[in-house]
Amino acid sequence: MTQVARKPAAPGAEPVATRPVRRLLPSRRLERTLAVLTPVGLLLIWELAARAGAIDTRFFPAPSSIFHQMGVLAQSGELWTNTWASLRRLFIGFWVGLVPGLALGIAMGLYRPVRAALQPLVSGTYPIPKSALLPLILLIFGLDEPSKIVMVAIGVFYPVALNTAAGVANVSPIYYDVASNFGASRWNVFRKVAIPGAMPSILTGIELGVGLGLILIAIAEMVGAQSGLGYMIWNAWQVYSVETMYVGLLVIAVIGYLLALLLGAIGARLTPWRNGK
């Protein structure tokens, strides 16, 4: 689209010939190029600085050596085993946290007595750093898989429960009036009004929860685990393989980014009315 601007004409003045205005904002393509260019440029500077000896490669190994290490770990299978272990825990923990979080959030949003009874408890325990719960969780659930899954579940549960409750409670009362006036059954009120009305808020809760779950799985795997990306990073520190540490960080970053993309796409499917808004 071309934009055409007119100089403000003085009263009675001749209309000034129009001319296209130079775009002030960079185009989409330029933005995308910049988004890729920045990290690539940084890596390049890093690489050059490492080779020139300008930075201490004991702490900041050259990107080329990190990628090389990545290849080594991929070939030995170690990278896949650990990535898979983390993803599996994340996936199971996600559902273990999501289902009760949704159920409780909806109940709290719909029914005032439930909210009155549970809101202080949930809001009160929410600010406890979840990582501080790890020793207790290890004590209760042991060093095996369940403790890792529970950590992820706790991370997912809180934001989902609180955001769902707020979302359901904040659906404008006029929509319930409409539903009632047009004879909607309780089930339809739930399905057609409460849930879609709260959906944007629920999705925000899930996004926050997944982010928190990713943090917690890395922490949980650093203590007492024998697999997972968190374990890989911790182990790398112990055997002083800084490159492996960076590989772990890189993989976690990529997982987080891909999960955000996935959730964004799912969110767009679940709330088609917000597209192009």
Partner 1 sequence: MTVDEGRDVASTTGPAAAVSDKDPADVHISIRGLTKQFDVRGSTVTALDSLDLDIPRGQFLVIVGPSGCGKTTLLRMLAALESPTSGAVEVRHGGEGRPGNSMVFQGDSIFPWMSVWDNAAFGLTMRGVPRAEIRESVGHYLEKTGLSAFADAYPHQLSGGMRQRVSIARAFANDPDVLLMDEPFSALDEQNKTLLQAELLRIWDETRKTVVFITHSVDEAVTLADRIMVMSAQPGQAKAFVDVPFERPRDVLELRHLEEYGDIVYDIWQHLRDEVSRSQRQAAAAPATGRRRRR
Three-state DSSP class for 19? strand
Contact code string over 116-155 relative to partner 1, x by CB under 8 A: ----------------------------------------
Size of the site for partner 1 (CB under 8 A): 24
Instruction: Count CA atoms within 13 Å of residue 163 on its CB side.
Output: 17
By beta-carbon proximity to partner 1, the closer residue of 58 and 277 is 277
Q: Which residues pair with 19 in a beta bridge?
A: 5
Q: Which two structure tokens, joined as six digits, stand for 72? A: 């080594």
Q: Restricting to residues 49-68, which ones interact with partner 1 according to CB under 8 A?
A: none
172 to 211, contacts with partner 1 by CB under 8 A? Answer: 173-175, 177-185, 188, 192-193, 196-197, 199
Q: How is residue 169 written in tokens?
A: 């409670």
What is the per-residue binding string for partner 1 in 235-274, x denoting contact by CB under 8 A? ------------------------------------xxxx
User: Does the footprint of partner 1 cover residue 85 (CB under 8 A)?
Assistant: no
DSSP 192: I
Please name every residue paired with 4 in a beta bridge, in sequence order, or none if there are none. Answer: 20
CB of 163 to partner 1, least distance (A): 17
**Is 249:70 a contact under the CB 8 Å cutoff?**
no
* Among 112, 148, 111, 116, CA closest to 133: 148
Report if residue 111 touches partner 1, rule: CB under 8 A: no
Tokens of 202: 């629920």
As measured in angstroms, the least distance from the Cβ of 196 to partner 1 is 4
- In the complex, the smallest distance separating the C-beta of residue 166 from partner 1, rounded to whole angstroms, is 15
Tokens of 42: 């940084």
- Residue 155's closest CA among 86, 237, 94? 94
129 or 173: whose CB is closer to partner 1?
Answer: 173
User: In the bound complex, what is the minimum distance in angstroms from residue 194's beta carbon to partner 1?
Assistant: 11
Q: Which of 47, 225, 88, 253 is nearest to 143 (CA)?
A: 225
Residues engaged in binding partner 1 (CB under 8 A): 173-175, 177-185, 188, 192-193, 196-197, 199, 271-274, 276-277
